[in-house]
Chain A
């Protein structure tokens, strides 16, 4: 199987504040990934909701513990008016230096409205430079997600389903149909042979393997993907090549 790259798009690392399930450090995560045969992971911090800047620092530290560079980091953004994060140019160059390849946001916990007024500067720059934006905070918050996508229709973004096991096709498909840069991960999308249906309808390029770790293990979704009835090329895209392409495409 190792001729196929598995690159996890949906993975949290580090301890949370509320005693939630966690993988505390890089070696615990790499050991889990090895157990199931996952090659690489895009990581974000479990505790983002309790602090954007502190969790950004932690992610940078974690990446120093990964000499084989199997992990790529995600940093959290905040509204630009409060001077908590630097201007886009500098922020992106800091990301590049720290091996951080994607950004995320947590507007509901960090208490601001996720719109053009608050995030226009940083997200317009992200759209222009094709920096992937993880939409994990919007899991299950469809009204807010629809409003956000209307504000930022040209983002390269990945909706991460981390809470719902019920199929969300009635909400996901309109977004896939209308926003070219909208991608989804597979964690929690347990519809029988549904990954193949979405790939046939919207293109396998729009779907990324995600484990949803640490709530979920890495393995169940791998077997689901393996036997979804996809052709070899689409399987390889979803398993890892899509995420690899999105991260390489970011002009940081």
Chain B
């Protein structure tokens, strides 16, 4: 047997195998918080989540609380959670298109929630409203004016946040920074198009993909590692599984660094 990736002296993979972290901070750009109806979570509240991400060398987790997405918890409460863990937690303001007044009230507080609120989160597939619908316009204009990120749940073939819809919206709001959650899973053609046919305001976000054989390699080939962000859906997926999936991809260490931290730093800075 030849030397495995985990044994290559001085490699990122070796550092992770031996120590559980490398010489850089990881930014997990797609997380959640709290229990969820469809799954049993032993660890889903802030203290447990932070303990887990710290073990894997994750410096920041940016999340949208499940209950804030469903409409049962106000984003202000999520901001209070972030205040408890200022070193590790940042939030996406959850946008539910069925609650227009809440959207206006919460976005009016966006600046007060600095530095913890870094962007918005759309979950169109679950809210059953297409991102191109008027119900998202207020939030899209808000993000576009400020040039802030929107993490979109996306999925190939979806009539709410699938390829053609995301291409239309990312072209229409060129100053908003679109994070394409799950990379339009399965529709790799459109994943490539939303990056390559827009003016530099789109990044693919990897949640659910690390570990799939050959997919990260293909995405890097299609859009370049500079346009890919790391995420896990924490508390759904283990950080070491996710990071392990990036380190297991047959890409360069430069690509790995871009995905795991450099791109997040170039979008949001080193201290955010």
Q: Which residues of A are interface residues toward B (Cβ below 8 A)?
A: 1-2, 21, 33-37, 39, 165-167, 169-170, 190-194, 197, 213-224, 226-229
Contact = CB atoms under 8 A, between A and B. Distances in A.
B241 A220 contact: yes
A111 to B, nearest CB: 28
Given A165-B237, A190-B236, A227-B56, A221 B5 contact: no
Contacts of B52: 192-193
Given A1-B17, A34-B2, A21 B240 contact: no
Given A190-B236, A220-B210, A220-B248, A37 B6 contact: yes
- Residue of A1, A191, A213, A219 with most chain B CB atoms under a 10 A cut-off: A219
B2 A223 contact: no
B235 interface: yes
A32 B73 CA distance: 46
A217 B248 contact: yes
Given A213-B213, A221-B241, A228-B240, 15 more contacts: A33-B1, A35-B5, A37-B5, A166-B38, A166-B236, A167-B40, A192-B234, A216-B211, A217-B213, A219-B245, A220-B244, A223-B16, A223-B244, A227-B20, A227-B240
A166 B39 CA distance: 7
A158 to B, nearest CB: 20
- 9 A-B pairs with least C-beta separation: A37-B4, A219-B248, A223-B244, A220-B211, A224-B241, A220-B245, A220-B244, A190-B237, A227-B240
Nearest to A195: B238
B236 A222 contact: no
Contacts, number: 119
Contacts of B120: none
Contacts of A217: 211-214, 245, 248-249
Interface residues of B, number: 40
Contacts of A190: 211, 236-238, 241
B40 A226 contact: no
B43 interface: yes
Given A39-B1, A165-B208, A221 B239 contact: no
B270 interface: no
A121 B212 CA distance: 38
Given A35-B4, A190-B237, A190-B238, A216 B213 contact: yes
Given A213-B213, A220-B241, A220-B244, A192 B235 contact: yes
A194 B247 CA distance: 21
5 contacts: A35-B4, A194-B42, A219-B247, A220-B242, A224-B244
A34 B213 contact: no
